Structure 1
């Protein structure tokens, strides 16, 4: 039985992915800050293959303890879905409060680094060695939205993390890929839709979150001899090409 640890599992794409992998019979670790929300996700599972891991991804000690618990209970980590993230303020750079910038960096970049670090160390030492890390990037890892400087900068950095892990993981049979998801209908996107409505702008094109989950499943189920390095899955009519 394969095992996956999913960060940001209490809502959105993380929650939907968790339900999908539980339905597939995987051992699933649910990691997020909100214990009550994680309990709701775990409560929907009709099996004992789920483990709730309450932790803040930006806290190194909490992350280490969560990974220790998962490895102790399950035995190994086959896949990390490095998914936790936040958008932050929608504003020009001179209007972004420094504490808001630091919060986005701590979650989207520092947190993703910490989780990848813990997964990588365990994957290289487990028997049999190896595993897969799937980083949740974004369309904003390539081209930005207006007023998204915090989110865009961190997501560009995630691409560098993905490339480095892919190279450094080769001797240890650790594959790393990045999924860049555009306009999946989650709570985060609902906020953007609400902003568009408030500004009298057209609503953005969207897709069902299950389309994104199917892509994550494809990446996770591949043998370690193959890797999806980068995948872009998005609402067909969103203005990604030429968005600027």
Structure 2
């Protein structure tokens, strides 16, 4: 998958030790980029680092809490120090809720989902922008892994829906303010994917909420509508070209195989 647009660049991927994040990060390494990832899962980080040993010193891994501003700022500073610059941030880290509506949603789950999906994305966006502005030449691109739940009222529970709606506001505000400075921001509106974001369902979920969501947007067939992670990678590498990212600055890009139909 080597491509001139990715080779030599430095890419940060949050939640990069598992699922979509790991697939994206691995592809950029294979394409010749420097890659830095952080994740909260120590075991996944160790396994990922071991698998990347063939890439020598072209990668950096860190166990970092995305909701801790000091830790996030330190991580980005370490990336800039190691590789000299940062060209791209992929805000991939995310957690799902359990399909609870507001009346039954526990506050601790609300705080966790908003913290990771929205506050974490903001903290990483902030750190990346500061790096983009201070390096020479300045500039960079931020891809945000959003969701069909970013534009639909009931594709998930209240917490996840609110977090992904809020993420689009962050994307558009960032694109508008920083676009003239060569810093671009866009969102992928993802459909169904086979990733570790649904790990939370292992402890149960709101049956009524799930049934309601399926009734509102029926017809999901994993064999037909599931998005291949390797196809998402192609979009990421495509937008690693700043000229391409500029043309889609502020855009919401559907990657969902036309499900749910809107």
Q: Which residue of 1 aligns with 2:5?
A: none
Tell me if 1:223 matches 2:243: yes
Q: Which residue of 1 aligns with 2:174?
A: 165
- The answer (yes or no) to whether the contact 1:4–1:77 under 8 Å persists in 2 is yes
Q: Which moved more, 1:37-46 or 1:135-144?
A: 37-46
Q: Which residue of 1 aligns with 2:66?
A: 57
Q: Could you tell me which of 79, 89, 96 is aligned with 2:98?
A: 89
Distance 1:87 1:211 in 2: 22
- The answer (yes or no) to whether the contact 2:144–2:186 under 8 Å persists in 1 is yes
User: TM-score w.r.t. structure 2 length?
Assistant: 0.83
Task: List structure 1 runs of 4+ shifted beyond 6 angstroms.
Answer: 199-203
Distance 1:109 1:60 in 2: 13
Q: Kindly state the Cα deviation for residue 216 of structure 1 after the two structures are TM-superposed.
A: 1.8
SS of alignment partner, residue 94 of structure 1? coil
What does 1:85-164 correspond to in 2, within 5 Å? 85-145=94-154, 147-164=156-173
Q: Which residue of 1 aligns with 2:254?
A: 232
Distance 2:14 2:156 in 1: 26
SS of alignment partner, residue 96 of structure 2? coil
Q: Give the number of equivalent residue pairs.
A: 239
SS of alignment partner, residue 159 of structure 1? helix
* CA deviation vs aligned residue, 1:195-225 (integer Å, no higher than 9, x gap): 7xxx998764312211222222222234267
- The answer (yes or no) to whether the contact 1:54–1:66 under 8 Å persists in 2 is no
Give the root-mean-square deviation of aligned CA atoms.
2.5
Unaligned runs of 5+ in 1: none
* CA deviation vs aligned residue, 1:114-146 (integer Å, no higher than 9, x gap): 000000011011100101111111111011445
- The answer (yes or no) to whether the contact 2:144–2:188 under 8 Å persists in 1 is yes
Unaligned runs of 5+ in 2: 1-7
User: TM-score w.r.t. structure 1 length?
Assistant: 0.89
Distance 1:136 1:172 in 2: 23
- The answer (yes or no) to whether the contact 2:140–2:242 under 8 Å persists in 1 is no
Tell me if 1:211 matches 2:231: yes
* CA deviation vs aligned residue, 1:160-207 (integer Å, no higher than 9, x gap): 100111011123211111111111222335877x97xxx998764312
User: Could you say which structure has the greater relative contact order, defined with CA pairs below 8 angstroms and 6 or more residues apart?
Assistant: 2
Tell me if 1:185 matches 2:191: no
Q: Which residue of 2 aligns with 1:43?
A: 50
222 and 128 in structure 1: CA distance in 2 versus 1, 3 angstrom threshold: closer
